[in-house]
Amino acid sequence: MERLPSWIRQHLAALRALLVLTLVTGAIYPLLVTGVAQAVMNGDANGSLLQEGGKDVGSALIGQSFTDGDGNPLKKYFQSRPSAGGYDPLASGASNLGPEDVLDTLPVPGAKDDEGNPDTGRQSLLTQVCARSTAVGELEGVSGARPYCTADGVGAVLKVFPTAGTPTRVVSVNQACPATPFIPVYQGVKVECGRPGEDYSAGRTVPVRGNARAVVPPDAVTASGSGLDPHISVAYAELQAPRVARERGLGLDTVRALIGRHITGRALGFMGEPGVNVLELNLALDRLKG
């Protein structure tokens, strides 16, 4: 070995180091960690799977939908918060839309997208929140109104076109014609409905707050950062309780008590807010008689 050229000895030493580190970090360490995890926290290590009737029905760590084949909410179940990824673990993530995303792209009748499908336009984050709030309000029998939302569930946003500093044209850009604008007049100018395909970029964007007081909780209308949050707020669970109790023929106090038993505390005792795991709560509901 000593007779070998130095550059060969260096390469052999590097190869030995590679083999040793591959064995330690690629085999021994993973097997050790996996073995400890399986022995100490088997359920968590295997995905926190929940079973019913001997079958896996989901994970306590991943949110899922409780809807029928057409996507309509199953009224006898508590509903999860919205998901930007369609509750698909492979599409986990947020919408990446921010609070300034308030302008919709209205679909143009008869137009096609790049793939030849009918043009569906694009909803802003504001309109998504408004539409979700309206839908939750209808499902739960409460007001779905929110600040900055129109009565028909889109963002209450105007485009104002001034001439010499004075508004001469005002358009409710998220309300496609022939919709009636959410306010008839703005600063003395009649408000028009939005016309699909028309360019309003030159106008000044004016969101209108209105006087509505939100009843539907924020987590019912916004997706989590992962899009797979398995929890909802206690307030959202309480909002759904009357509907679930009615659909199942249960007493409201019974459903509320069940919610109370499934409230999880703050992370590490001080981070975030208490929540309710929707899958665990719905499984507990199915175990009740009624």
Q: pLDDT tens per residue, the chain (290 residues)?
A: 567 788 888 888 899 999 999 999 998 898 888 877 666 665 555 666 666 766 867 777 888 999 999 999 999 999 999 998 888 888 888 888 899 999 999 999 888 877 878 888 999 999 999 999 999 999 999 999 999 999 999 999 999 999 888 999 999 999 999 999 999 999 999 999 999 999 999 999 999 999 999 999 999 999 988 888 999 999 999 999 999 999 999 999 999 999 999 999 887 777 878 999 999 999 999 988 64
How high is the pLDDT of residue 235?
A: 97
- The single residue listed with the structure tokens 């679930």 is 244
Looking at the DSSP bridge assignments, the partners of residue 161 are 169
How high is the pLDDT of residue 43?
A: 55
Asked if residue 206 lies in contact with residue 157, where contact means CB atoms within 8 angstroms, the answer is yes
How high is the pLDDT of residue 58?
A: 74
Looking at the DSSP bridge assignments, the partners of residue 216 are none
Tally of residues, the chain: 290
How high is the pLDDT of residue 290?
A: 47
- What's the token pair of residue 241? 């309780």
**Per-residue exposure over 14-29, b if at least 16 CB sit within 10 Å of its own CB, e if not:** eeeeeeeeeeeeeeee
Classify residue 199 as exposed, middle or buried by CB count within 10 Å of its CB (0-12, 13-18, 19+): exposed
Whole-structure pTM value: 0.83
**Per-residue exposure over 72-94, b if at least 16 CB sit within 10 Å of its own CB, e if not:** ebebbbbbbbbbbbebeeeebee
How high is the pLDDT of residue 85?
A: 85
What 3-state DSSP class applies to 274?
Answer: coil
The verdict on whether omega for the bond into residue 178 sits within 30 degrees of 0, i.e. cis, is yes
Residue in 194, 281, 227 with CA at minimum distance from that of residue 91: 227
Asked if residue 153 lies in contact with residue 174, where contact means CB atoms within 8 angstroms, the answer is no
Residue in 229, 226, 227, 238 with CA at minimum distance from that of residue 262: 238
